[in-house]
Chain A
């Protein structure tokens, strides 16, 4: 179960409509908001933040030796200005002008800017009336969410040192994980170079004092930290995400079945992440059991998924579809055990034959049942992002955003945007869409 922090809880209680207080809504990075939007929406305003300055370039065109074309980016964690939203305000961090921006949600007017010394790659996490965010300058900042006034800043890096990077200056220990607030504690990492020590911080959200600081070798911690159960999950891009104990920050392992910076935790704390590596010819997301690190399910030919109430919404080879994930996982577990049992039975032993026949029938039945887990499918272009708002599935596309009925896939609404819609924030009755060209489109119910 999702356990929000007290602060986040209070924020939700205090605000009449559903807020979006952190990257992808919550610490599972679920992308699921319980409240539906009132349709049809109309465009309220557009803000142009200038093109994002991404931390990394795109991937190689191909692995020529392996004749493997169309390699996937595994470090594309900052393709647009993702937003958070509350108090009728919208927040985004800019990788371009190094500031945290606050916009009036109704008008798009800039309310305040809070500058840092380098790129801000994730939106702030809203903790009560505070906005917490990290920067490539190696610091984390806490600003008054309503006024932008600096409340404090804390150095996450071990030194002030700055180095050139893509025309900017960054710390060799930038904060590229965002800030994850869970159970009254904030988690963030200062990390970049695998040959230097990386630092995971845990601080008290009330006092901003350190709860612990752990050192990690051989890692590049980048991408939003996830929290679920008693664990933290930190993506690394081209290397497998690491898991840590929330209580003491000690590393508990790596999830070899995962990779990339698109990660989310399901409602029962299974990690969906991808792509697992660049080598796969098909784009893949995998579900891994965080405890064992084993792969549970693979979604082929997809880069984005959203899961709510046991159902997964994803795209594969021209189709957008809804899967009964809970049922599918149960059946696959059954199938797996039945196949293992079948393998153990020697068909040359006559006494095994009846049992083999029974197992084969069961396998056949379960295979058919797995097919029935596909609840609906529609022809649909490949999305860059999927989120859920109540009974609506919101889809970010190339120069378009659309909303579908979550139960049927039936189109409900769509609108043009400028660029690829990587960031979707349904909050406070609005839909905020962030694109790779630096635009933030906001749609609301017609007054």
Chain B
């Protein structure tokens, strides 16, 4: 077939800094002027806007010599593109070879559905990628930058990813195509599908003004508070947000990205709440908000929510009973379990279901009565979903695990079982209706702990004083509940996201831009919410994005802290960053204690978002995997009035070191003023580990209680070595800094040696009590980034630790741990991923391990001993090899379960 040869024009260079400018439209192809030229490799087709259509095998080859003349650092590639189809190895402009271990050159393109920029400085191609998927068919602006120290990717004027890289790019030393619109090297050819309006190659990085101008052009609907979806009932969801400008807003939503349904917000002020009704079950919806802004009508990005996550109970027909209101009085209006032992006519059962969100299970010993009621309820469509009637010949001993019922009562005048049996079935803080009809609230399980923050308490001990009934082995725990959420809830097991929390009988769990509250004792889902901007990953090098207290959940979403009601998920308040940071920063650290809420400001784009591809964040010695998120300030709010109390701003605060206990707030900060001026807010330890100070503030006033220069590290020196992670924790006496230090050869390559080093500051005055160390077990799969489990008398990292207060290495090891996961502590043991890479329990007393086969935690902290239970919400989803259970579970100590050992079935 005759190939139509057309010349692609290198358009007139607009200014001296522009090294190339390719405008891929019909006019430039037709005029055939200027050079160097490009050559379309297929008969060119143009769309109605005149843009060259990239489809089939169309791509444009440029002279290879021109690629060789381009700078190897200090440049920026700018492109306006529309990608119509995601694919692996999509390339917009590339000059690269990727042949086995021979990886050279650079590529601006996309991988899957995320824009990316890759380059090689002699080793493998290093990548920065947008954390969010692009929308097929929508125009985007890209800036890929490299200054010889850091590579960055800007999407629509905003930095979306950066990483530290050093040295000039190493180009291929074999003939290599210089290509627009395809990835092409010696043995690979992947043409793209879409449009490329223009590409420009600059010899300098874009200025803030350039970026601001592009950001304005590509601006989306500005939100004062970003949108979220909370499910209300089957088929029904509430979409809510706050606009930055008053006015009408329209929501387009549908089951495809073409949307289809439109609903207008009834509000014309800032707050919008729109109910989306008649939603299909188990369906992923897309939605987008459009509103008039000062820049004209703008659209939000396309967001998603998934009704598979809608587990809200269906209402039941109205029903009344004189006792129902009394029994339900003052119980939280939230889903849960009601257990009714002994029926009369079922009217109380129906009334409790009708007047609450509780899932009602009633036991009775009269089979005829049971079946009649079952039939009636089935005909109403509510048996098995809201009300379940169970036949049980002996009502004296209910074969139900303990601590299940939010409400436990009988319909009969006298319960058919003892009051102790009624109480046994009641969950802590749940209600028992005693035989004399008095209402009793069950106290918390003795020795149960609260896991309110990433590492348990805000002091980051990874131990919440949970005694777990004295259990020290798997067979001393019984299953309390099993079920949702499942694997479809989460992001993936790998990216080390925020841990679940458990307090006041509730467990909170985060998934893929969604969060959920569950009843810790029966697994009933209390509420769930889809928040498109929720995600934060690589918590070991940052801090979690949430914490909780008895009644509230505090969630950092972009630049705000959302204060949610723990029982219902309703948003009570939003707290702002300090005024000077509101346009430029996001909410970083979050903790609460007493009346204090502590927050911090991190620079836009500093937080880790990437979870696709290699996103383990623990490659030993890899500079980008030592990078911590740094806060520009830290501040205190009061819970009692939601007002700010104080702000501290001196150096750059290392987020994973911030800890809070008994009114004292401790952290490490670097006081390197040069870094403060130039940082992106995320820096490798090589960059930020100098002029480090340990600081202790009064958490209520922000006043400095003490500050001390950090002593010399024990393995890493100014000349060599690295710090893989740095953690802060507090005991009643001291501020413990645990560093994972690795050694390097003079070449900078890791030499295999590494230690956990412990630096213990007296909490009263900041005096250094001791420094000590223990060796790493290994330097991969998270072992070398193990967060310490801190007891008052000892600290465990991996595989051993130190004793307190003297800092001497322990005389024993635990484990061995296998693969990635965090270690969490109970009073009597440690839990981690061990035997057969499954969840494992190690006894402090016997030093022996036992395990639950085929239970997989996430690659960070996804299981917690708290509330008198061992809670293991699903965290391993995405791990596609292995026979994992892919489910959430909770275990109760056998001695609290009311369950006797089972024996093999009898004849």
CB within 8 Å of B: which residues of A?
50-51, 53, 56-69, 71, 75, 94, 96-99, 113, 115, 117, 119, 155-170, 172, 190, 192-195, 197, 199, 201, 209-210, 213, 215, 218, 220, 236-240, 277-279, 436-437
Q: Are B384 and A161 in contact, with the CB atoms below 8 A?
A: no
Instruction: Verify A195–B483 contact, CB threshold 8 A.
Output: no
Give bound CA distance, A212 to B598, whole Å.
Answer: 63
B880, A66: Cβ atoms under 8 Å?
yes
CB within 8 Å for A57 and B522 given contacts A64-B495, A98-B388: no
Query: Given the interface contacts A60-B492, A169-B361, does A53 sit within 8 Å of B385 by beta carbon?
Result: yes
Q: Which residues of A contact B490 (CB under 8 A)?
A: 60
Sample of 30 A–B contacts (CB below 8 Å) = A58-B487, A59-B886, A60-B880, A61-B488, A63-B879, A64-B615, A65-B613, A65-B616, A67-B111, A96-B385, A113-B374, A115-B371, A115-B391, A155-B906, A159-B902, A160-B399, A161-B899, A163-B400, A163-B479, A164-B522, A166-B523, A167-B359, A172-B479, A192-B482, A195-B474, A213-B905, A218-B854, A220-B854, A239-B883, A279-B881
- Residues of the B chain whose Cβ atoms lie less than 8 Å from the Cβ of A213: 904-905
B396-414 contact mask (Cβ, 8 Å, vs A): 1 or 0: 0001110010000000000
Most buried by B among A59, A69, A163, A236: A163
The interface residues of chain A lying within 8 Å CB-to-CB of B884 are 238
| Bound Cα distance from A63 to B361, whole angstroms | 38
Q: Quick check: which of B73-81, B375-383, B790-798 contacts chain A, the rest being far away?
A: B375-383
* Chain B proximity of A323: nearest CB distance (Å): 28
Residues from chain A with a CB closer than 8 A to the CB of B187 are none
Chain B residues in the interface with A (C-beta under 8 A): 88, 111-112, 281-282, 308, 311, 313, 337, 359, 361, 370-371, 374-375, 377-378, 381, 383-385, 388-391, 399-401, 404, 474, 479-495, 512, 522-524, 611-616, 851-855, 877-887, 899-900, 902-907
- Evaluate whether A164 and B371 lie within 8 angstroms (CB atoms) in the complex, with A58-B486, A67-B112, A156-B905 already known: no
Closest Cβ of chain B to A259, distance in Å, is: 8
Selected contact of B853 from candidates A156, A194, A238, CB within 8 Å: A194
Smallest beta-carbon distance A429→chain B, Å: 29
**Further pairs besides A60-B487, A194-B885: 7, Cβ < 8 Å:** A57-B484, A67-B111, A115-B389, A159-B899, A168-B388, A195-B852, A210-B907
CB distance A157 to B399 under 8 Å? Answer: no
Smallest Cβ-Cβ distance to B393: which chain A residue: A160
Q: How far is the CA of A68 from the CA of B88 in the complex (A)?
A: 11
In the complex, what residue of chain B is closest to A169 when comparing beta carbons?
B361
Q: Give the nearest-CB partner of A137 in chain B.
A: B390
* A187 CA to B502 CA, complexed, in Å: 42
Complex CA gap A98/B484 in Å reads 19
Q: Say yes or no: B612 contacts A64, CB within 8 Å.
A: yes
Residue of A nearest to B905 (CB): A158
Residues of B within 8 A of A96 (CB): 384-385
Instruction: List B contacts of A236 (CB < 8 A).
Output: 883
Query: Which A residues are in CB contact (< 8 Å) with B381?
Result: 50
Query: How close is B520's CB to chain A, nearest CB, in angstroms?
Result: 11
Hey, which chain B residues are within 8 Å of A60, CB to CB? 487-488, 490, 492, 877-878, 880, 886
Complex Cα spacing A220 to B400, Å:
22
Beta-carbon contact of A64 and B401 below 8 Å: no
Known contacts A50-B381, A67-B112, A210-B907: does B853 contact A195 (CB below 8 Å)?
A: yes
A162 touches B112 (CB 8 A): no
Do B854 and A194 touch (CB < 8 A)? yes
User: Which of A65, A99, A117, A160 has its CB near the most chain B CB atoms (within 10 A)?
Assistant: A65
Distance of A67 Cα from B492 Cα, bound (Å): 11
Rounded to whole angstroms, the CA-CA distance of A163 and B902 in the bound complex is: 14
Cβ–Cβ < 8 Å partners of B489 in chain A: 57
| Selected contact of B479 from candidates A65, A66, A193, CB within 8 Å | A193
Contact residues in A for B523 (Cβ distance below 8 Å) = 164-166
Q: Which residue of A lies closest to B474 (CB)?
A: A195
Q: Which residues on A sit within 8 Å (CB–CB) of B313?
A: 167
Residue pair B391, A117 in contact (C-beta under 8 Å): yes
Q: Could you tell me if A65 and B886 are in contact, using CB atoms closer than 8 angstroms?
A: no
Measured CA separation A218–B854 after assembly (Å) = 8
Residue contact A167 to B375, C-beta cutoff 8 Å: no
The answer to whether A190 and B905 touch across the interface, beta carbons within 8 angstroms, is yes
Cα A161 to Cα B488 in complex, Å, equals: 29
CA gap between A63 and B616 in the complex, in Å: 13
Set of chain A residues within 8 Å of B281, measured between Cβ atoms? 51, 437
* For the complex of A and B, 6 pairs with smallest distance between CB atoms: A57-B486, A239-B883, A64-B492, A60-B877, A160-B399, A278-B880
Q: Of all chain B residues, which has the CB nearest A190?
A: B905
- Taking CB atoms, residues of chain A closer than 8 Å to B880 are 60, 63, 66, 68, 71, 277-279
Interface centre among B401, B474, B881, B905 (most CB of A within 10 A): B905
B463 to chain A, nearest CB (A): 24
In the bound assembly, the distance between CA atoms of A98 and B474 in angstroms comes to 32
Given contacts A115-B371, A159-B399, contact A65 B878 (CB under 8 A): yes
- CB-nearest residue of chain B to A63: B880
Are A57 and B488 in contact, CB atoms less than 8 angstroms apart?
yes
Cβ-neighbour of A56 out of B474, B486, B883 (below 8 A): B486
A361 to B522, CA, bound (A): 67
Q: A57-B486, A239-B854 are in contact. Are A98 and B384 (CB under 8 A)?
A: yes
- In the bound complex, residues from chain B placing their C-beta under 8 Å from that of A94 are 384
CB distance from B275 to the nearest CB of A (A): 21
Measured CA separation A156–B906 after assembly (Å): 9
Give the complex CA separation of A37 and B365 in angstroms: 47
| Bound-complex Cα distance A437 to B282 (A) | 10
In contact, B374 and A115 (Cβ under 8 angstroms): yes
* In the bound complex, CA of A96 to CA of B614 (Å): 41
A294–B904 CA distance with the chains assembled, in angstroms: 34
Q: Is the CB of A161 within 8 A of B390?
A: no
- Note all chain B residues with C-beta closer than 8 A to A240: 883
From the candidates A50, A56, A62, A172, name the one contacting B886 in the complex (CB within 8 A): A56
Give chain A residues whose Cβ lies under 8 Å from the Cβ of B900: 159
Q: How far is the CB of A120 from chain B (nearest CB, A)?
A: 10
Distance of B525 from chain A, by nearest CB (Å)? 8
Report the Cα distance A167→B387, complex, angstroms. Answer: 10
> How long is the Cα–Cα vector from A156 to B907 in the complex, in angstroms?
9
Checking A63, A97, A168 against B492 with a beta-carbon cut-off of 8 angstroms, the contacting residue is A63
Choice from A61, A63, A113, A155 contacting B905 with Cβ under 8 Å: A155
Report the bound CA distance from A63 to B882 in whole Å: 12
- Residues of A contacting B902 in the complex (Cβ-Cβ under 8 angstroms): 157-159, 161
**Please, which residues of chain B bring their CB within 8 A of the CB of A61?**
488, 512, 878
Cβ contacts under 8 Å, B308 to chain A: 57-58
Chain B residue with the shortest CB-CB distance to A166: B483
Q: A279: nearest residue on chain B (CB-CB)? A: B880
A437 to chain B, nearest CB (A): 8
Residues of A within 8 A of B905 (CB): 155-158, 190, 199, 201, 213
**In the bound complex, how far is the Cα of B489 from the Cα of A61, in angstroms?**
8
Chain A neighbourhood of B370, CB < 8 A: 115
Q: Least Cβ distance of B879 to chain A in Å?
A: 7
Please determine whether B904 and A158 come into contact, CB atoms closer than 8 angstroms: yes
Shortest distance between the CB of A158 and any CB in chain B (Å): 4
In the bound complex, how far is the Cα of B377 from the Cα of A97, in angstroms? 9
Compute how far the CA of A109 lies from the CA of B383 in the bound complex, rounded to whole angstroms: 19
Contact for A64 among B311, B613, B886, CB less than 8 A: B613
Closest to A436 in B: B282
Is A169 a contact partner of B400 (Cβ separation < 8 A)? yes
A59 touching B612, Cβ below 8 Å: no
Min distance, Cβ B346 to any Cβ of chain A, angstroms: 14
The answer on a CB contact under 8 Å between A218 and B384 is no
A169 and B492 contact, CB distance less than 8 A: no
Q: Which residues of A have CB within 8 Å of B885?
A: 194, 220, 238
How many whole Å from A234's CB to the nearest CB in chain B? 14
How many angstroms from the CA of A29 to the CA of B404 in the assembled complex?
39
A67–B613 CB distance below 8 A: yes
> Hey, which chain B residues are within 8 Å of A193, CB to CB?
479
Chain B contacts for A195, CB-based, 8 A: 474, 851-853, 855
Output the least CB separation between B511 and chain A (Å).
10
- Distance of B404 from chain A, by nearest CB (Å): 6
